[in-house]
């Protein structure tokens, strides 16, 4: 089932067209990464999904229903600019946000207890927000975002301000929410985290949709078939390999199998087959791992957002 369906959304601020007819959908239970360069329109999009902002045109459906404030209990939104009341005590703050979503106080308290424990905040419950470290304030913001148990949790740069230990803790909590069936939209410039956690990706630029769909499919569709990774048991004589034959270029890189060995990134000639490449390398030593290179998310992001206008002429959108 689709938890979120966005159709032809537009939003204009004075002379800036922040969203330019964006359409995509998100499956219930997925972790979807929302990516885009600064100013791409992500915050505008997230505010519309959270019913904080109205679009100029287009529609948003949540769990199959036309969106509006009456559905805001289904959504938990943690904005990049955190918004807590400095003088409020931690538990009052969390309960306040939960009650704004109309949730049952008994259930709210039980969920709050669960998450205060998960985030090691039990001893801070009576402290005022301004007395907490920035990282602990951020944890409180997260708990306040999802204390009413929303079906769709939207996190804008959730890792910013966290040390590596708390980032790992937050990642575990997000994975726990995911395992319970909650859908998560994660907007972040931290490509390795998005790559590790998200199964689906939406990439926007200049208010337009660039890509959407399963991360594995997007990687496959953006693969450069001429790039290969291999690991050999012994080092190779590189000048000898590139002097003629199927290999255009080869350079050392990390080994690509869990076994010890010597790793190489290799570019084959356009007309060469993988078999020809393997035969040429095998003349020098045993190959213990061989694969076609898939692009990283960061490589796709850069390739598809730099000179996007030019690329849009040549490449279609991968849809889920
Ligand atoms: P970032 O990654 O830097 O947070 P973003 O992808 O979230 O960027 P938005 O904040 O949605 O992008 O902004 C999209 C465009 O709309 C930008 O050009 C921005 O300057 C403009 N914009 C956003 N909010 C307003 C506003 N209230 N008034 C005028 N222009 C705005």
**pLDDT tens-digit readout, 43-83:** 999 999 999 999 999 999 999 998 888 888 999 999 988 78
What distance, in Å, lies between the first and last C-alpha atoms of the chain? 13
- Predicted local distance difference test score (pLDDT) of residue 307: 62
- Residues 6 or more apart in contact with residue 162 via CB below 8 angstroms: 135, 138, 170
**Is 89 a residue whose pLDDT tops 80?**
yes
Q: What are phi and psi of 83, to 5 degrees?
A: -135, 80
- Can you tell me which atom of ligand 1 is nearest the CA of 207? 14
List pocket residues of ligand 1, CB cut-off 6 Å: 13-14, 16, 18, 36, 38-44
Higher pLDDT among residues 258 and 126, named by residue: 126
Return the residue whose CA atom lies nearest to atom 3 of ligand 1. 38
Per-residue b or e along 245-266, where b marks 16 or more CB atoms closer than 10 Å to that residue's CB: bbbeebeeeebbeeeebbbbbb
- Predicted local distance difference test score (pLDDT) of residue 69: 80
Give the C-alpha distances (Å, rounded to integers) separating 264 from 153, 173, 219, 230, 231.
Answer: 41, 37, 20, 5, 6
Residues composing the chain: 320
Higher pLDDT among residues 94 and 81, named by residue: 94
**Is 244 a residue whose pLDDT tops 80?**
no
Computed over every residue of the chain, the mean pLDDT equals: 90
Probe ligand 1: pick from 15, 16, 157, 188, max atoms within 8 Å of CB? 16
**Is 310 a residue whose pLDDT tops 70?**
no
**Is 316 a residue whose pLDDT tops 70?**
no
Cα distance between residue 194 and residue 35, in whole Å:
9
Q: What are phi and psi of 67, to 5 degrees?
A: -75, 155
**Is 8 a residue whose pLDDT tops 70?**
yes
Q: So what CATH class is 2-220?
A: alpha beta
The lowest-confidence range among 1-5, 229-233, 247-251, 310-314 is: 310-314
Return the residue whose CA atom lies nearest to atom 28 of ligand 1. 13
Return the residue whose CA atom lies nearest to atom 17 of ligand 1. 39
- Residues 6 or more apart in contact with residue 308 via CB below 8 angstroms: 205, 206, 208, 210
| Distance of CA 204 from the midpoint of ligand 1 (Å) | 13
- Predicted local distance difference test score (pLDDT) of residue 240: 85
Average pLDDT over residues 241-254: 87
**pLDDT-above-70 percentage for the chain:** 94
Average pLDDT over residues 87-98: 94
| Distance of CA 45 from the midpoint of ligand 1 (Å) | 10
**Is 166 a residue whose pLDDT tops 70?**
yes
- Predicted local distance difference test score (pLDDT) of residue 320: 34
Return the residue whose CA atom lies nearest to atom 4 of ligand 1. 38
Q: What are phi and psi of 238, to 5 degrees?
A: -70, -45
Cα distance between residue 297 and residue 215, in whole Å:
8
- Predicted local distance difference test score (pLDDT) of residue 306: 86
- Predicted local distance difference test score (pLDDT) of residue 308: 53
- Predicted local distance difference test score (pLDDT) of residue 257: 65
- Can you tell me which atom of ligand 1 is nearest the CA of 14? 29
Average pLDDT over residues 204-232: 91
Give the C-alpha distances (Å, rounded to integers) separating 178 from 173, 218, 293.
Answer: 9, 22, 29
- Residues 6 or more apart in contact with residue 27 via CB below 8 angstroms: 1, 2, 3, 183, 200, 320
Return the residue whose CA atom lies nearest to atom 25 of ligand 1. 13
**pLDDT-above-90 percentage for the chain:** 68
- Can you tell me which atom of ligand 1 is nearest the CA of 44? 11
Cα distance between residue 196 and residue 296, in whole Å:
11
| Distance of CA 44 from the midpoint of ligand 1 (Å) | 7
Place of tokens 């600064």: 38
Return the residue whose CA atom lies nearest to atom 8 of ligand 1. 39
Higher pLDDT among residues 255 and 237, named by residue: 237
The distance of Cα 198 from the centroid of its chain, to the nearest Å, equals: 5
Probe ligand 1: pick from 12, 22, 42, 56, max atoms within 8 Å of CB? 42
- Domain extents for the chain? 2-220, 224-292
Cα distance between residue 18 and residue 98, in whole Å:
31
Probe ligand 1: pick from 22, 41, 190, max atoms within 8 Å of CB? 41
Tokens standing for 131?
Answer: 């007395």
For domain 224-292, the CATH architecture is 2-Layer Sandwich (3.30)
**Is 187 a residue whose pLDDT tops 70?**
yes
- Predicted local distance difference test score (pLDDT) of residue 258: 66
Return the residue whose CA atom lies nearest to atom 18 of ligand 1. 39
Average pLDDT over residues 143-163: 94
Average pLDDT over residues 236-253: 87
């Amino acid at each position: 089932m689709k938890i979120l369906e966005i159709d032809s959304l537009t939003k204009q601020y004075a002379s800036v067209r922040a969203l330019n007819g964006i359409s995509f959908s998100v499956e219930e239970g997925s972790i979807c990464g929302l990516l885009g360069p600064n100013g791409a329109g992500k915050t505008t999009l997230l505010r519309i999904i959270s019913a904080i902002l109205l679009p100029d045109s287009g529609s948003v459906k949540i769990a199959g229903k036309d969106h509006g404030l009456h559905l805001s209990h289904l959504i938990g939104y943690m904005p990049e600019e955190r918004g807590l009341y400095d003088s409020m005590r931690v538990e009052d703050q969390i309960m306040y946000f939960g009650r704004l979503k109309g949730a049952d106080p008994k259930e709210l308290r039980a969920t709050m207890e669960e998450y205060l424990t998960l985030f090691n905040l039990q001893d801070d419950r009576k402290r005022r927000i301004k007395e907490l470290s920035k990282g602990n304030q951020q944890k409180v913001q997260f708990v306040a975002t999802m204390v009413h148990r929303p079906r769709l949790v939207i996190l804008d740069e959730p890792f910013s301000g966290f040390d590596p230990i708390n980032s790992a803790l937050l990642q575990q909590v997000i994975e726990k929410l995911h395992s319970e069936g909650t859908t998560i939209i994660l907007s972040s410039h931290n490509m390795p985290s998005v790559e590790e956690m998200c199964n689906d990706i939406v990439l926007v630029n200049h208010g337009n949709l660039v890509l959407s769909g399963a991360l594995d499919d997007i990687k496959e569709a953006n693969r450069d078939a001429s790039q290969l990774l291999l690991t050999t048991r012994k080092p190779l004589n590189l000048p000898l390999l590139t002097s003629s034959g199927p290999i255009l270029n080869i350079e050392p890189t990390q080994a690509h199998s869990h076994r010890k060995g010597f790793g190489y990134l290799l570019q084959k000639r356009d007309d060469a087959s993988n078999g020809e490449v393997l035969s040429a390398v095998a003349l020098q030593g045993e190959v213990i791992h061989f694969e076609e290179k898939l692009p990283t998310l960061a490589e796709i992001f850069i390739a598809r957002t730099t000179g996007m206008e030019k690329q849009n002429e040549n490449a279609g959108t991968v849809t889920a």
